[in-house]
Structure 1
Amino acid sequence: MTVLKNRPTIVLIAGHWLGAWAWDDVLEHLDPTRSRAIAITLPGLDEDDPSRATRTLDDQASALRDLLTRLHVSDGQPAMIVAHSGANAPVSLILDSHPELVSRVVWVDSGPMAPGSAFAPDFPEDATELPLPPFDILARQASLDGLSTEALDRFRARAVPEPGPVVRQSVELANDARHTVPTTMVCCSISSSQVLEMARGRHPMFAEVANLETLDVIDLPTGHWPMWSRAGDLAEVIQSATTHSS
């Protein structure tokens, strides 16, 4: 009973176009006796929400904060957050506003955003949403390696367009305490050596990595969506990371 009571909480957040369903394969591999894992669908990515196209990054960060409250996460019992790809924006906001609630952040083929940055700052103001591109175009932006035809079909069928305000909004950060949160980077489509080299060179994509006080890097070679291409291996990495969380 003690093991169950003291299970660490893991919050899983997928990137653009994806909801909680994207973690189904990973959740099947996580041991519920060792951790309590919850996947969240961010505001703007629920196809049944009639106002979803107007949702903002602030809405997403607020929803994440509300979830942590419902899960009774506190500075005495912080949660581990797993953020894939474009989930880095709302998670960066949470790390800035409530670093005490996060025991560790695991970036999955992603990383912390730099202050003032945005996913697509030039996305037209009159464009209400960003739909999932055709796969031949998407493959030029992010690796599809390891994805089966079935996985691609599911991706296409279940993807929800990303709200325009989310991709345009810049991330305003001011709390240096975000750099103290222990961090694991799971490097999939870009190797850890490349990521660290880019961080040292202050490349905009990974400039914030150089500021982190505690960093583990793990290579999990595959495409940009390892929750489908290497679900079991990713679950093992996530489960192992809970043992290193403070």
Structure 2
Amino acid sequence: MTEFLLVAGAKLGAWAWDDVVPGLRAAGHGAHALTLSGLAEKRGVPAGQQTHVQDVVDEVERLDLRDVVLVGHSYSGIPVGQAAERIGDRLARVVYVDASVPADGKSFLWGWDSDAVRAAIAENGGFWRPFSAEDLQGQDLTDEQIGRIVRGATAHPGATLTEPALLTRSPAELPATYVKCLLDWPEPSDDVAEHLKSERWELVEMDTGHWPMFSRPLELARILHESAV
């Protein structure tokens, strides 16, 4: 039985996977959603990027997961990708869901015009503000889904976004599936495109927006299932 450890992106907690977990369990898999430090029910817990990496490693060890597929959405690809190389032979695969992929010495904000985000973090006491409804428009989400995300989102610890990743090898060396959500942006980023040249990586496309665990949960559960077989 494959075990899935699901980690949502910035500002979200384990609750974001509530519509995906049943589909995985119905397919015979173990499915465990993790809230990272400083978010959702863990608000107030101090967190830097390596805290989030350790959150993932500790959860794998706490649950004694074997043959584990680590799933990172959006920001969480950064800590998940680092944790993947630290859990050794427990790892079966990494799935990056429209996610950033870590690069040694580079932060989540590397590679894009981040001055506005950095300024917003500084102005908000070291946190990236929660989502507004406007942030979620045009992403294949219903009004109900947008309301659900806005109500559940929390401010995100800024240090996790600005601190650099620590890797000993390229993510391309580990087996991975990259799920590209076409409505968010039709092409993988340059670094992801480079990793996809590896025979250990595969690309799967979804015709939806950046939050498929809300907009297309059953389809996402099927893709995750297929990544494990």
Name the TM tier (shorter chain). 0.7 to 0.9
Equivalences for 1:14-163 in 2 at 5 Å? 14-32=8-26, 34-50=28-44, 52=45, 54-73=46-65, 77-120=66-109, 123-124=118-119, 126=122, 127-136=125-134, 138=135, 144-163=138-157
Q: Is the 8 A contact 2:78 2:100 kept in 1?
A: no
Unpaired stretches in structure 1, ≥5 consecutive residues: 1-6
CA displacement at 1:47 relative to structure 2: 4.1
CA displacement at 1:55 relative to structure 2: 0.8
CA distance in 1, matches of 2:209, 2:88: 30
Q: Is the 8 A contact 1:106 1:183 kept in 2?
A: yes
| CA shift in 2, pair 1:212/1:104, >3 Å | same
For 1:4, the equivalent position in structure 2 comes to none
Does the residue aligned with 1:63 lie in a helix, a strand or coil? helix
Does the residue aligned with 1:25 lie in a helix, a strand or coil? coil
Q: Give the letter aligned to residue 117 of structure 1.
A: K
TM-score by length of 2: 0.85
CA distance in 1, matches of 2:38, 2:152: 14
Residue 210 of structure 2 corresponds to residue 217 of structure 1: no
Decide which structure has the larger Cα Rg and report it.
Answer: 1
| CA shift in 2, pair 1:9/1:133, >3 Å | closer
For 1:179, the equivalent position in structure 2 comes to 172
Q: Is the 8 A contact 2:75 2:100 kept in 1?
A: no
User: How many aligned positions are there?
Assistant: 220
Root mean square deviation of aligned Cα: 2.4
Q: Is the 8 A contact 1:192 1:217 kept in 2?
A: no
CA distance in 2, matches of 1:209, 1:190: 21
Unpaired stretches in structure 2, ≥5 consecutive residues: none
CA distance in 1, matches of 2:96, 2:33: 15
Does the residue aligned with 1:179 lie in a helix, a strand or coil? helix
Q: Give the letter aligned to residue 189 of structure 1.
A: L
CA displacement at 1:15 relative to structure 2: 0.2
CA displacement at 1:210 relative to structure 2: 4.7
CA distance in 2, matches of 1:22, 1:9: 18
CA distance in 2, matches of 1:119, 1:234: 24
Q: Give the letter aligned to residue 241 of structure 1.
A: S
Percent identity of equivalent pairs:
28
| CA shift in 2, pair 1:222/1:156, >3 Å | same
| CA shift in 2, pair 1:231/1:185, >3 Å | same
